[in-house]
Amino acid sequence: MLRSVPAPRRRIAAAVIAVAILLLIVVLLLLRPWDRTAAAAAPQTVWQAISSEMTGEDVPVATALKAYAYLTGLDIPRVQIPAGVRGDDTPTSASGALRWVRANWAQVAPDQQAAIEASLAPQPGDLVIPVTGPDGEEIASASRVATADGGVPGGLVPTKVSSDTEAATIAEAIRADVFVTITHIGQKLGLPVIREGLFVNDVTLVLAHWDKGTTFWETFAKSDGTNYTPCNLVVYKNLWSKEVAGQPLSPTMHVTLTHEIIHCYQNQVIGDIDSAFGMPKWIMEGSAIWLAGNDTGIVEPMTPGMYRTHILGKPERALTGRTYDAYGWYALLDHLGRPMWSLFADAWRAAARSTGAGRSEAFIAVLEGDADDVERAWAPAFARESSWNDPWITYGLGLPADATAPRIPVRATGAGYLSSLPDRSNQLVTVTGSDGEIVVVETDGLASVHDGALDSELAFTSRRFCVDGDCVCPPRTQRAGERMADEEMHLPFIVAFQSPAGGAGQRISSRTLAEECGRADSPAPSSSSPRPSGKPPVASGHRPPTCGTRCPGSNGDPHLRTVNGIAYDFQAAGEFTLLRTPDGLVDVQVRQEPATGVEFGRVSNNTALAVRLGDRRVAIYTTAAGLDVRLDGVVQRGADPLDVGAGRVERHEQGIAIDLPDGTVIWALGRPPSGIYVLVDPSARVMAEGVGLLGPTADGLGIPRLPDGTALPSPLDRHEAYQSLYVRFADAWRVTDATTLFDYDPGKTSASYTIADYPAAPKIATFIELASAEQAAGRAACADVADTELRDQCAYDVVVTGDRSYVRPYVTVERLAERGSAALDEPAAAPGAHAPVEVLPVIHRLAGSALDPDGILYVSAVMADRSGVVVAIDPLTGRILHETPVTGSGEVDVAAGSVWVAELDAPATGGPSCSVARLDPSTLAVQATIPTACQGLGLGTDLAAVGGDVWFVDPSGADAAGAGGVLRRIDPATNRVAATVPIPFVGGTLRASAAALFYGDPTKGQFRLRPGETALARIGNPGTEAFPAGWPAGDGLWAVTEGGLGFFSAATGPSGTIDLNDADGGILVGADTESVFIERRGTSGTNELWRRYLDGRVPVRLATATTAATGIGPLELTYVEGGAPSLFVSERALTKVWVLISRTNPAESLLLVQGAGLPTP
């Protein structure tokens, strides 16, 4: 997802006339805007009670039934509505509650189902009104449900219609408004307008002649197994009876009607009944209420109360746990400039195509709801302080004057105020006082502060605020003259915490100058170049470890080396004491979990490391983005070193270094999925006294002693060895809740990570137990590791996991042993990156290439004798895996577990014929041959694959102007040509990303087709057809235009841009969904291929081009494409293909290939 560039921080100037300051402070002291703790609590509403049970994305069945019974007044057996007052936050639509009930329908008892179904059926006297025609039908054409033997469901109240004429007039007005609004909303959303349908009505409207609780409307999708109708509207008597016949509809009728029609379009986009019922409540209800208000400018009756009790009243509620009260988040996105109306259809569609929690994530991604501008503004907006300017202002239609968010009063103490927030939520805190001169604010997410007067600070993760004096260390202290705070802040001040996806913890604590400045008799730390903040300078780095590559540590799957240099493998699962001194001053713990992507029960790796630093805890955790550092449970996001008591934590590009007070240094290296490579350079005391998994070994089993000093005896067999190592030894060194240094999610403890029978007995495999072929393959993959013992450990890891990313930490350790921690900041190269390899010395022409998800390259080539061949290649080694002849080589792609190759047969008579051959990727044997269409005289079939389907261009029906051509889809299930999609012209190029097809021409424009769509959609810049081919990625194209590099997924211009002229810039050569690939000139003068991530991660160097020998002499290689696409990216690897003049036959060409494994995020 593209993220907007954060705006520079702005501070209110402090140079204000003294008198003005005094007056301002007096006014503020009188008004005390920061002191907004909750007033006397209002009585809880029924809807508050029900909402409090809906904390997650899914609504429990009991809660769904309570919601439906409350809103409709329906008597549902065994459903008890919670106590509370009927507040002004009560929804006026039961559509959401009905959807939640339907999502749990299998758990609803038969008698409860019967009561609900009876309430949904047209009742005696109801009007069933067709919604068709631009002028509308006579209301007399509507049908009235027969009244004989009629009644209404239990708990509902029939009401007398004043007159049929009056009801008919009102019904006609509602019908007309429904028709006009359906047309208007469909066009505004960019969706096909819902119409009557050919055999069934896509829109039905029922005027119920009875009240249904407080419910004005119900809207739902229906399916009879064959037909799906997205728009079934019921308006109840308690709303429509308030309308005046012959007068325009009331604002309440119009805005609630619009709300329901939004639901119709949601159902249309979602497309099936199960998905319609299963969509997250915050998406369906929150977007409907916001769109209706935004379109009409009318406030729905529930909106003011929703602001008071839910939107502002519950800032700590997770976004995905909200319902209608997600309204406030949509209002913020609108204020931040999102084109909401043009985004919602795609967002609903993305959610519908996903499952489970992925629905919310896909929806948020389309709206760029996790972008920096949202994260910076969301929490401060809850403060609702208009005089402070953005982002401290709350926005939204219907915001009542008395709606405010609660502010928690906190005094900063040494122990600190600790709290946590769920996924995408917020909290306001008022810091009322402090035990020290410095208040420290830390968070895993983002924090912003404002003191209501002169000072504010936005969107930080950790700041130290001076609240008393100047916070400069006095003379005769260790840090005399140094300023110990980042900023000034006046007490009291407000802290707005924002929690990102995944949740966050936060801490507010105090520090005294006495604690910070130190005693005069302590040696002052070196400070050759103090920074303006007064913090110590960034360290120049550690020297190489004294133990080189043979330091004590734990790495890979995991391989352990003890303080006395003995190596053993320990693949248990749980949390263990890695190394500890008897007094506990040195205490290092490790968390081992089953390795991902590997047969369960085989191996584990290190997923977390915890270290004691005085009275503080430092913990390191693997995440998708790398290694997270937490200090006492709070994530430390900054790059600056952390001085923790007498210890220090330094972050580097490829790992973390921790200095312990006794001189021990611990390095944590690596990224998932290979886990954390732990390396310890121990002090003399730790070498002599250390115990734990890395303690000195004893005779017998040859592993460290148990905590009580017991040495385990030599085992008699593998079973006894397993029992000794993975039962007695493992259990003895497990940490407990009392000794653990780790952090835990709610509901988890240290025991949550214990798997007692892991690994599965009797698997005590080592490198020497691998087959000789596996050993050779592993050593080849780890050829860049020089140390023989480390190379064999690396080889074992690669063989058992099948993942080459395990190579990188071993290479990093060798660099660390040579150059110290400076090596950890050198550009990371992708694992397994190799020099270009000549694969086919002589070919006539390269016809097509494709890379499969596992990184195998398939090429289709015309050889020097003009025969066709398809070759499977390992691009990392250049080894040909398989080869098969074909009839006339053409385009290649991979889909549905097969390789698809276009073939051209040109017999002497009868004209050319084209087909697509389906090949088995493991053998290249032909599985099927499908007749297709030729692009033109002497040209084969232009094909591309997406979503498991294979598409090709059929120009055979085109007229002289180029109109009439189509795309045709090959159904892999039947190997037959199925659907067709018209193309705007022939002669274009067909390409694909993992998510969409792209067809186009630079002068005529580019078009996209996503799976499930039936028409091509233009993408590019508005007002012009011409558009460069670009690089497919996701559902759009990266293209270089006059405005720079942009990502285009619609015809409205770029949805995101990148500046390739900055320090990380270069020449664009490719792209995928999370990055762009660029060429840069290296310091050695060669061209380098870099991966630049869209989310701001550090760019990674993937490969270096060399000089290739050709038929015209040495040629400097470049990654810039000169014609057909030649850079291919899969999930795990990247391959570059060059076609150059052959060395051995200059009249022909050669094929050169370079492969590189992609770094794991």
Q: How confident is the model at residue 379 (pLDDT cuts 50, 70, 90)?
A: very high
Residue 1017, both tokens: 């959609």
So what's the pLDDT on residue 1084?
67
Q: Which long-range contacts (CB under 8 A, 24 or more apart) does 141-150 make?
A: 142/168, 142/171, 148/124, 149/124, 150/123, 150/124, 150/125
Q: Among residues 201, 305, 236, which one has the least CA distance to residue 95?
A: 236
In this structure, are strands 417-421 and 642-644 parallel, antiparallel, or unpaired?
unpaired
**Is the distance from CB of 239 to CB of 91 less than 8 angstroms?**
no
Handedness of CA 480, 481, 487, 489 (dihedral sign): positive
So what's the pLDDT on residue 156?
42
Q: Among residues 394, 313, 326, which one has the least CA distance to residue 360?
A: 326
725 part of a folded domain: yes
Mean pLDDT of 1028-1045: 82
399 part of a folded domain: no
pLDDT (tens digit, 9 = 90+) per residue, 317-344?
A: 999 999 999 999 999 999 999 999 999 9
**Count of Cβ atoms closer than 10 Å to residue 333 Cβ:** 21
**Is the distance from CB of 500 to CB of 372 less than 8 angstroms?**
no
Q: How confident is the model at residue 11 (pLDDT cuts 50, 70, 90)?
A: very low
pLDDT of 16 over the 60 cut: no
Mean pLDDT of 1040-1063: 80
pLDDT (tens digit, 9 = 90+) per residue, 456-467?
A: 899 998 899 999
pLDDT of 20 over the 80 cut: no
Residue 202: phi, psi to the nearest 5? Answer: -75, -20
385 part of a folded domain: no
Please compute Rg for the chain using Cα positions.
34
So what's the pLDDT on residue 130?
64
DSSP 995: S
Q: Among residues 606, 910, 573, which one has the least CA distance to residue 751?
A: 573
So what's the pLDDT on residue 581?
94
Q: How confident is the model at residue 196 (pLDDT cuts 50, 70, 90)?
A: low
So what's the pLDDT on residue 28?
41
* Lowest mean pLDDT, pick from 14-28, 120-134, 362-376, 638-652: 14-28
Same domain as 297, residue 443: no
Same domain as 367, residue 491: no
Same domain as 911, residue 1052: yes
Q: Give the residue, 1126 or 531, on which the prediction is more confident.
A: 1126
Mean pLDDT of 840-863: 90
Mean pLDDT of 264-290: 92
Q: How confident is the model at residue 1160 (pLDDT cuts 50, 70, 90)?
A: low
Q: Which CATH number do you get for residue 453?
A: 2.60.120
Q: Tokens 């290689």 correspond to what residue? A: 1117
Write the CA distances from 776 to 282, 796, 854, integer angstroms.
Answer: 54, 10, 20
Same domain as 565, residue 610: yes
So what's the pLDDT on residue 1124?
61
Same domain as 334, residue 201: yes
Residue 699, both tokens: 């005779």
Cα 886 from Cα 67, distance rounded (Å): 64
Mean pLDDT of 1100-1126: 81
Cα 482 from Cα 828, distance rounded (Å): 36
* Lowest mean pLDDT, pick from 231-235, 426-430, 638-642, 994-998: 638-642
pLDDT of 1114 over the 90 cut: no
So what's the pLDDT on residue 523?
40
Mean pLDDT of 597-604: 76
pLDDT of 970 over the 60 cut: yes
- Secondary structure of 657-723 in HEC code, one letter for each residue: EEECCCCCEEEEECCCCCCCEEEEECCHHHHHHCECCCCCECCCCCCECCCCCCCCCCCCCHHHHHH
* Most confident of the following: 500-504, 655-659, 1105-1109: 655-659
Cα 585 from Cα 583, distance rounded (Å): 6
* Lowest mean pLDDT, pick from 555-569, 788-802, 807-821, 1057-1071: 1057-1071
pLDDT of 583 over the 50 cut: yes
Handedness of CA 244, 250, 254, 257 (dihedral sign): negative
**Is the distance from CB of 314 to CB of 55 less than 8 angstroms?**
no
Same domain as 1047, residue 937: yes
So what's the pLDDT on residue 455?
79
Between helix 95-103 and helix 281-296 the angle, nearest 10°, is 160
Cα 342 from Cα 133, distance rounded (Å): 27
Between helix 358-366 and helix 281-296 the angle, nearest 10°, is 30
DSSP 239: H
Sheet holding 553-555, edge to edge: 567-569, 559-561, 553-555, 677-681, 665-669, 655-659, 647-652, 642-644
568 part of a folded domain: yes
Q: How confident is the model at residue 890 (pLDDT cuts 50, 70, 90)?
A: confident
Contacts with 876 (C-beta within 8 Å, 6 or more apart), sequence order: 804, 832, 834, 855, 1133, 1155, 1156, 1157
Cα 1158 from Cα 803, distance rounded (Å): 11
Same domain as 430, residue 465: yes
Mean pLDDT of 559-573: 92
**Is the distance from CB of 385 to CB of 391 less than 8 angstroms?**
no
* Number of domains making up the chain: 4
pLDDT of 532 over the 80 cut: no
Residue 194, both tokens: 């819902």
Cα 159 from Cα 153, distance rounded (Å): 13
Cα 838 from Cα 1038, distance rounded (Å): 30
* Most confident of the following: 222-236, 299-313, 348-362, 1036-1050: 299-313
Same domain as 105, residue 246: yes
**By three-state DSSP, how is residue 963 classified?**
coil
DSSP 140: G
Same domain as 113, residue 188: yes
Q: Which domain holds residue 284?
A: 46-372
Cα 139 from Cα 326, distance rounded (Å): 38
Of 798, 823, 848, which marks where a domain is finished? 823
Cα 388 from Cα 981, distance rounded (Å): 55
Cα 1037 from Cα 1028, distance rounded (Å): 9
Cα 1139 from Cα 1110, distance rounded (Å): 10
pLDDT (tens digit, 9 = 90+) per residue, 866-884?
A: 888 999 998 887 888 899 9
Mean pLDDT of 404-424: 90
Cis peptide before 134 (omega within 30 of 0): no
Mean pLDDT of 1068-1075: 88
In this structure, are strands 203-207 and 228-235 parallel, antiparallel, or unpaired?
parallel
DSSP 811: H
pLDDT of 207 over the 70 cut: yes
Angle at 173 between CA 172 and CA 177, to 5 degrees: 115
Of 475, 494, 517, which marks where a domain is finished? 517
Q: How confident is the model at residue 33 (pLDDT cuts 50, 70, 90)?
A: very low
So what's the pLDDT on residue 1105?
86
So what's the pLDDT on residue 798?
86
User: How large a percentage of the chain has pLDDT more than 70?
Assistant: 86
DSSP of 322-357: -SGGGHHHHHHHHHTT--HHHHHHHHHHHHHHS-TT
So what's the pLDDT on residue 541?
53
Write the CA distances from 629 to 591, 613, 823, integer angstroms.
Answer: 15, 14, 20
Residue 378, both tokens: 């969301």
Cα 874 from Cα 832, distance rounded (Å): 12
Cα 257 from Cα 248, distance rounded (Å): 14
Cα 335 from Cα 347, distance rounded (Å): 18
Q: Tokens 């044997």 correspond to what residue? A: 925
pLDDT (tens digit, 9 = 90+) per residue, 142-152?
A: 344 443 334 44
* Lowest mean pLDDT, pick from 523-537, 723-737, 916-930: 523-537
**By three-state DSSP, how is residue 572 classified?**
coil
End-to-end alpha carbon distance in the chain: 14
395 part of a folded domain: no
Cα 213 from Cα 497, distance rounded (Å): 39
**Is the distance from CB of 498 to CB of 426 less than 8 angstroms?**
yes
Of 761, 794, 823, which marks where a domain is finished? 823
Cα 1087 from Cα 774, distance rounded (Å): 34
So what's the pLDDT on residue 141?
36
Same domain as 706, residue 670: yes
533 part of a folded domain: no
So what's the pLDDT on residue 341?
95
pLDDT of 558 over the 80 cut: yes
pLDDT (tens digit, 9 = 90+) per residue, 734-769?
A: 999 999 999 998 899 999 999 988 988 655 467 877
946 part of a folded domain: yes
In this structure, are strands 989-992 and 997-1001 parallel, antiparallel, or unpaired?
antiparallel
Q: Among residues 435, 320, 442, 447, which one has the least CA distance to residue 382?
A: 447
Give kind and range of the element (H or E) at residue 412: strand 408-412
Cα 822 from Cα 806, distance rounded (Å): 21
Q: Which CATH number do you get for residue 969?
A: 2.130.10.10
Q: Please, what is the average pLDDT of the chain?
A: 83
pLDDT (tens digit, 9 = 90+) per residue, 442-491?
A: 988 999 999 987 678 999 988 999 999 999 998 888 788 889 999 999 99
Cα 264 from Cα 644, distance rounded (Å): 58
706 part of a folded domain: yes
Same domain as 854, residue 803: no
* Most confident of the following: 28-32, 160-164, 218-222: 218-222
Same domain as 26, residue 135: no
So what's the pLDDT on residue 135?
39
Single-letter amino acid, residue 1157? G
Length reported for the chain = 1161
